[in-house]
């Protein structure tokens, strides 16, 4: 756990968890993402978890990490949030999670396993929660079928994976924003469709019927889709590979910071 606490800390600071990609580190994500500078401006705290595995991907495959308080990576990151809330008198209603690639996958896993902790999540070029599940129980296992976009299911089946991550939970769920590039060959672009189906299923929405579709938004060749007043937002980046660049100012708007 690495943490950035700005000099001008808000009285009851929001918290953003920023989760690095495969081959990445907390230091690399600290240096390469916009959240440190934004924290200086806005007074929130940033938690940068670091993967304990060689290759530095996150465990998004084991039953433990896909279960609330299951003892895996997701549990460790949740404990980082709880520690930070207590240590710095953080605002429990303004805790957010984001990440890129493997960190994007973990963002979906965190939103699924700890919906009680997070108000919103932003996923950059990830996969749906549970898509990398290892039938053999592998920890930090690679799932080629998922990576290649071959794992396809219904919104109801994808949503069940989220509901099963925290059985019996009846409270609110974090709103979600999903970015993906059409030319992604590392985590195939179909993973965008499956992730949208997952959260649409969780929210009881039709993934094929967004309320609003905006071409060339937030930039040329990006299309933004919105459901239920922004509870779910998809941003599909035409011609962009792995991974979509982080959009710090837009992230702040989605998080309400």
Catalytic residue numbers read 101
Ramachandran region, residue 239 (left: φ > 0; alpha: ψ -120 to 50; beta: rest): left
15 φ, ψ (degrees, to nearest 5): -135, 130
What is the per-residue burial (b if ≥16 Cβ within 10 Å, else e) of 224-245? bbbbeeebbbbbbbeebebbbe
Euclidean distance between CA atoms 219 and 115, whole angstroms: 30
Q: By 3-state DSSP, what share of the chain in percent is helix, strand and coil, each rounded to 5?
A: 30, 20, 50
Return the bridge partners of 226, or none.
Answer: 212, 233
């Amino acid at each position: 756990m690495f943490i950035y606490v700005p000099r001008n800390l808000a009285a009851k600071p929001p918290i953003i968890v920023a989760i690095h990609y495969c081959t990445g580190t907390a230091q690399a994500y600290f240096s390469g993402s916009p959240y440190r500078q934004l924290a200086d401006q806005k007074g929130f705290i940033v938690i940068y978890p670091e993967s304990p595995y060689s290759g530095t991907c996150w465990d998004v495959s084991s039953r433990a990490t896909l279960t609330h308080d299951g003892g895996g990576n997701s549990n460790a990151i949740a404990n980082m949030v709880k520690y930070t809330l207590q240590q710095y008198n953080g605002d429990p209603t303004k805790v957010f999670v984001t990440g890129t690639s493997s960190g994007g996958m973990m963002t979906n896993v965190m939103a699924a396993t700890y919906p009680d902790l997070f108000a919103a999540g932003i996923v950059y070029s990830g996969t749906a929660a549970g898509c990398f599940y290892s039938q053999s129980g592998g920890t930090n296992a690679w799932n080629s079928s998922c990576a290649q976009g071959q794992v396809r299911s219904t919104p109801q089946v994808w949503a069940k994976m989220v509901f099963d991550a925290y059985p019996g939970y009846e409270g609110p769920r974090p709103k979600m924003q999903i970015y993906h590039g059409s030319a992604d060959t590392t985590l195939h672009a179909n993973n965008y469709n499956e992730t949208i189906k997952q959260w649409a299923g969780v929210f009881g929405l039709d993934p094929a019927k967004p309320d609003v579709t905006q071409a060339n938004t937030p930039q040329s060749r990006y299309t933004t889709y919105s459901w239920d007043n922004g509870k779910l937002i998809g941003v599909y980046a035409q011609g962009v590979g792995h991974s979509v660049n982080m959009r710090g100012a837009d992230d702040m708007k989605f998080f309400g910071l």
